[in-house]
Structures are given as C-alpha cells and as structure tokens.
Structure 1
Amino acid sequence: MTVTLLSAPAKLTLSLSVVGVRHDGYHLVDAEMVAVDLTDELEVSDGEGLEVVVPDSGLEVSDDGENLVARALRLVGRTAHVVVRKSVPAGAGLGGGSADAAAILRWAGWDDVAGSVVLGADVPFCLVGGRARVTGIGEVVEPLPFEERAFTLLTPPVGCLTQDVYRRWDEMGGPLGAHGNDLEPAAVDLVPALVRWRDELGDAAGCRPKLAGSGSTWFVEGEYPGEGRRVVRTLPSA
C-alpha cells in the first residue's frame, strides 16, 4: 500500500479588518496572513475513511462527514483513507482544519483558489500559503513578498467558534479593534477568560499581544519560549 505524506501548515492572521457585510450575511475582510511552521501531517492511502489523531488538548475535532478533509475529498471527487495527525489546535484561530482541507486539494491537483472558499474562508489562503493579503470573504488572495519572521503563540485551553465571534461582533455593532484585529473585542466579550492568557503572554514578552483571527490564540512577534508558549516561524509558499 502506497502512503502519501502531506504537510498542512497553520496560518497566522497578522491583521484583520472587517470592512463590510454581504447581502447573504458573510463578512468582508481585509487581512494579512502568513503560513507558519506549526503543521498537521496527513497520511493518504487507497481506500476510504478518516482518522483524526489529536494530542490531549481538551478540544474535539470532528472525524465525521462534516470534517473539512472529508468535504475536500467530496469537492474534488476523490476517495482515500486519510489519517490526520493534529498539531494545530482546534478553535484556536490558526486555520488547522482549513490547512488540512487545502493539503487534500493540493494532493488532488485542485488549483481553483477562489472556488475553494466553499469549504471555508481560510481555505483559499491555506491553498496558496506564504504571505498574502486576503480580501472578500477570504476568496481573494494576493501574494506578498515573503518575510522571514518569528512569533510566539499562546493558545488557551478554550476554543472560539468563528461563527459565534462574528455573531457577537454584529451584536456589538461592529466594533473596531484597537490592536490590529477587529474581531478581538467580540472574542473577548464572548470568552472573557481570554484576557488572562493575553496578559500572561504580555508579561512574558513585555508587549501587548494580538489575537490570531477569531481566537483563541494570542501572539507576539519575537521568540519568548516558555511553558504553554510555542515559537513558530514563517514559511514561504510551496
């Protein structure tokens, strides 16, 4: 049996502005994203079925037909047995599920970046990788020159559901984030405990952390290793 190994890098959203809402309720964004060297690994072989192997994180990952890997296989009309070995935490704002789906699309030779948004707003960027400006609802990906940078992440043991954060943002009247991410006020209002981990990372780094996407991960630029913190580096596009 031939096994193909795929790598699925996480994405880090360095800035995010919500610039409008479409008639169908989808939010329009203007964001800068980078791929980082925190990766899930996928093993693809003949057959059918999906196994998701997750370290003891306290967060659940769906392994049923609604998992993004299963949906990506359906989108490209392929069948395969896939084992996903998770390192990117779920509900952390790092696009782990989207990265897994993008890895399957690349494996299948899918190159319709804008069309991949049917799987999720982060999938188009994860398909392109590197560093990019992302607009629309996520389907417009404009590559930017690669910059070699390091960041320190702190992911709390609580997750944030993207749809819940956007809903709270709407309920709050669309607040502007003062720290480069318009979703931060909504995420903190929804999960007040996030402040504790923000302050913990801020104390370690000596600067004010930013929220990654819809959360729950906080990040700062630079290397500040320590308990519960992970140093990552940017990756160029494949």
Structure 2
Amino acid sequence: MAAATAPTVLHAPAKLTLGLRVTGVRADGLHLVDAEMVTLDLADTLTLRPGDGLEVEEAASGLPVPATDDNLVRRALAAVGRTARVHLVKRIPAGGGLGGGSADAAAILRWAGVTDPGVAAALGADVPFCVVGGRARVTGVGEVVEPLAHRDATYTLVVPPFGCATPAVYRAWDEMGGPEGASGNDLEPAALRVEPRLARWRDALGEATGEVPVLAGSGSTWFVPGAHPAPTHIVVRTVSSSEQAPRSS
C-alpha cells in the first residue's frame, strides 16, 4: 500500500498599511499610490492535500468568507494551473483591510513557485506585496514592491464588524477633490465619508490607548503603535519576509 501523502501547510500572514499617499490617477481610472506596508504575525493557515475543493473554517470575527470560485484561493490556484483540496483557517478578520484574501492568494503563489508580479497583481492590488512580505514601499497600483529593512514593531488593532468597499473609498476621494490625510493616510477622510461609523471605533481606540489611531489603507481597521491589550483589541507584531515561507507537516 502506498504511503499517504503528507499535507502541506501554508502560512498566510496579514499585512498592515502604515501610511498611504495617493499620487495620481491612471488613464484607466486606477489610482497610483505610495505606501508603506508590513507583514504581521496574525495569519491564516492553508492545509493542502491532493484533490480539488475549498473548505473555510472561520476562526476570527469578520465578514463571511465564501468557499466559492471567487475566493482568492481558488482564483490563485487557477492562475497557476494547479489543483488542491484546501482547508483554510481564517484568523485574519475579513473585510478589515488587512489583506486576508490577498495573503491567502500569495501563499498559493509562493507554494507554486510563481513570483511574477504581473500574475500577483492580476489577482489583487495587495497580492504583490503579500508575495514579497516583510516591510516594503509599494507604488504604482500596488504592483511595484521595493523591500525595506525589517523593523521590529508592535501595533494594536481594532477591526469593526463591517468593511469598507475600496472602490467606494477611492470614488469618494475623487469626489472630495483628493484630500490629504493628516495622519499619513490620504484615504482616511474618504473612508470616513463612505462609512461614518468608523469614527466611533477610532475614538474608542484613541480614548483607550492615549494614541492617535490611523486607518489602515481604505479601512476598516484602525491601529496605534504599541501593545494595548483589551477584549476588543488585537495586538500584533511585525515579522520579516523569511517568516512567511510555506512549510510542510
């Protein structure tokens, strides 16, 4: 009898956008950005076995994650011409702007040995960074990733039980005349216009920590520096790109 094939376990770390400037708009309507992103120790886990299919286990609060062909895991597998039966444990809250779906797709690309930024960018604007990981300057529409030296840092996150639609936030940014965010995130004023409930979560985090919260990308996560444990807070640390490599068990 042939020995059973051991499953492959992939680590899919979240990303945090520390700052984001919108630098222009392309002819096709896509916005150009200049952002700093870091990889976090908050991560999904993908267990791959022979076969085909996707099962999603929700291990964190957030928006529902459907196990359909639109899921970025399925799309990434199709993009690299591979099949697998995948058990996905979601620890990154969906809809919070922490790149959970992008991280899952990037884990599949790394497993398949595909690092072409064009393939990654076709799946989503955050996927190229999630493939590289660590700390990086991200420009263009997300496809240009310039690795930066790793910095150990700790952050406290608050993830509201709702998401912010990125296209709606950019549309509001355009309608507002392209405001500059005082905190270093140009999308913050537009996100607050699209989803006014964000203000309550920002204020609660600020009052609890004494820090000025910053919106992560287009939202809906707020973050502050340092560790401030509380039932509604998620304390995370940055990790280097070497800590997100796939591993087998």
- TM range, smaller chain: over 0.9
Aligned mate of 1:119, from 119, 123, 148: 123
Task: Verify: 1:109 aligned to 2:113, yes or no.
Answer: yes
Q: Percent identity?
A: 63
In structure 2, the residue matched to 1:181 is: 185
1:72 aligns with 2:76: yes
Q: Tell me: CA distance 1:58–1:121, structure 2 relative to 1, closer, same or farther (3 Å).
A: closer
Instruction: Tell me whether 1:27 sits opposite 2:31 in the alignment.
Output: yes
Counterpart in the other structure of 1:52:
56
Counterpart Cα distance in 2 of 1:59 and 1:121 = 20
After superposition, the C-alpha distances for 1:85-123 in whole angstroms (9 at most, x for unaligned) are 001011101000000000000010112134310000000
What is the correspondence of 1:201-216 to structure 2 with a 5 Å cutoff? 201-216=205-220
1:37 to 24, 38, 41: 41
* SS of equivalent residue, structure 2 residue 203: helix
Question: 2:16 — aligned with what?
Answer: 12
Larger Rg: 2
Q: For 1:178, what is the secondary structure of its paired residue?
A: coil
d(CA) in 1 for partners of 2:170 and 2:121?
17
Read off the aligned partner of 1:75 and give its amino acid letter. A
Structure 1 residue identity aligned to 2:51: G
State the Cα distance separating 1:191 from its structure 2 match.
Answer: 0.8
2:229 aligned partner: 225
What pairs up with 1:129-208 in 2 under 5 angstroms? 129-208=133-212
Deviations 1:104-158 (A, max 9, x none): 0001011213431000000000000000000000000000000000000011111
**TM value normalised by structure 2:** 0.93
1:51 and 1:68 map into 2 onto residues whose CA distance is 13
Determine the C-alpha separation between the residues in 2 that align with 1:165 and 1:2.
44
Give CA deviations for 1:57-96 in whole Å, capped at 9, x if unaligned. 2511122111111110011000111111001011101000
State the distance in 2 between where 1:73 and 1:67 align. 10
Whether the 8 Å CA contact 1:2–1:46 is kept in 2: the answer is no
5+ unaligned residues in a row in structure 2: which ranges?
Answer: 243-249
> 2:169 is matched by which residue type in structure 1?
V
State the SS of the aligned residue for 2:29.
coil
**8 Å CA contact 1:114, 1:140 repeated in 2:** no
Q: Give the Cα separation in 2 of the matches to 1:139 and 1:116.
A: 8
SS in 2 for 1:40: strand
Q: Which runs of 4+ in 1 moved over 6 A?
A: none
Kept in 2, the 8 Å contact 1:130–1:143? The answer is yes
Q: Does 1:62 align with 2:66?
A: yes
Which blocks of at least 5 consecutive residues in structure 1 are unaligned?
none
DSSP 3-state at the match of 1:157:
coil
Residue equivalent to 1:88: 92
Question: Offset at 1:171?
Answer: 2.1
Structure 2: how far apart are the matches of 1:176 and 1:18? 8
**CA deviation profile, 1:8-46 (whole Å, cap 9, x unmatched):** 000000000011111111110000000000000001111
**Cα root mean square deviation, aligned:** 1.1
Aligned length: 238
